[in-house]
Structure 1
Amino acid sequence: MEERLDEPLDEPRAKRIHSVLFVCAMNAVRSPMAEAIARHYFGKSIYVQSAGVRKGEPDGFVASILSEIGIDASKHKPRTLDELEEWEGLNFDLIISLSPEAHHAALELTRTLAAEVEYWPTPDPTITQGSRDQVLDAYRNIRDGLMYRIRLRLKQTSPKSPNDGEGA
């Protein structure tokens, strides 16, 4: 098969990502938000999960700000890396850590897993002080930043091009 010079090349012929795991401290805000966004844009073309180093409680603001862009995350149940490993194993091509604690745990996992690890420092919006609107804006900023990074990082590896629009 002849390669055409005018066709866009994939990023440095990187290995195609078939599965991605997002990890944060408690699987309550950042990693479930990232999981829901990735599933929304990449459907079944990339297997996506999320987990936390520790188990937190579901955060209602996450479902609220994701519903604003047509993503339903209301059924998310926080889980730990240990729980995920027990249920289905940790066979992921890419692990994206969103907090320092999660990054340390992800690096520990690579001692026994052949997974690529990326650290995306992502602020914790739950520590935001102020009015309800100010807190929601902090969550929206995290959502929008994750949406941008996820679409940019995973679009090269997916056979299905995500829609350029924001949400459904």
Structure 2
Amino acid sequence: MKSKVMFLCTGNSCRSQMAEGWARSLLGDTVEAYSSGIEAHGLNPNAVKVMAEAGVDISGQTSKLASSLEGVPFGLVITVCGHADENCPAFLGASRVVHVGFDDPPKLAKSATSDEEGLQHYRRVRDEIRDFVRDRLPELLNSK
């Protein structure tokens, strides 16, 4: 049976979406990955773009509210931003919740002087999330 894991962020547009995509790609045999948000801001096109560069298609994923997954028995919920960590929905309280914060690429990209410079923020965070999913998520799932 696959472990059900939710990646939770504020708007479910970027970091949590990338984490879901990496989990499906790297650990799909053992993990059933989901992502959601405190709010639903839509799928960030730059997140889709940089994930495609890495060979992971997240274009079919959708931005959704955590409350839409209320009936799913998650074994692990990972908050990927501070706001989501501080405001994790109460119904998730029965699950094991772990906070692993990542920088916010859209926020960082606002100060970029070019589109390419802005994408570098997305790529760095994408790679940090990949490394977390590949190296640490299996440990977290095995240390129940």
TM-score of the pair, normalised by structure 1: 0.75
- Indicate if the aligned counterparts of 1:103 and 1:119 stay in contact, CA closer than 8 A: yes
Is the radius of gyration larger for structure 1 or structure 2? 1
Q: Separation in 1 of the partners of 2:67 and 2:23?
A: 22
SS at match of 1:55: coil
Does residue 123 of structure 1 match 2:108? Answer: no
- Indicate if the aligned counterparts of 1:52 and 1:102 stay in contact, CA closer than 8 A: yes
Do the aligned partners of residues 18 and 136 (structure 1) sit closer, same or farther apart at CA in structure 2, a change above 3 Å counting?
same
Match of 1:6 in 2: none
In structure 1, give the amino acid aligned to 2:130. Answer: M
- Indicate if the aligned counterparts of 1:31 and 1:98 stay in contact, CA closer than 8 A: yes
Q: Separation in 1 of the partners of 2:134 and 2:2?
A: 13
- Indicate if the aligned counterparts of 2:38 and 2:89 stay in contact, CA closer than 8 A: no
From 62, 71, 77, give the equivalent of 1:77: 62
Match of 1:153 in 2: 136
Where does structure 1 lack aligned partners over 5 or more consecutive residues?
1-15, 159-168
1:104-162 per-position Cα deviation (integer Å, ceiling 9, x unaligned): 23373444x2x21111111111012221111100000110000111111233458xxxx
SS at match of 1:49: strand
- Indicate if the aligned counterparts of 2:77 and 2:92 stay in contact, CA closer than 8 A: no
RMSD: 1.9
Where does structure 2 lack aligned partners over 5 or more consecutive residues?
none
Q: Separation in 2 of the partners of 1:71 and 1:125?
A: 18
Kindly indicate which of the two structures has a greater share of residues assigned to helix.
Answer: 2
Once the two structures are superposed, the pairs formed by residues 107-122 of structure 1 within 5 Å of their partners are 108-111=90-93, 113=94, 115-122=95-102
Q: Separation in 1 of the partners of 2:29 and 2:124?
A: 26
Match of 2:81 in 1: 99
TM-score of the pair, normalised by structure 2: 0.87
Q: Separation in 2 of the partners of 1:64 and 1:139?
A: 9
In structure 1, give the amino acid aligned to 2:74. Answer: F
SS at match of 2:68: helix
Q: How many residues align?
A: 138
Task: Name the % identity.
Answer: 27
Match of 2:35 in 1: 50
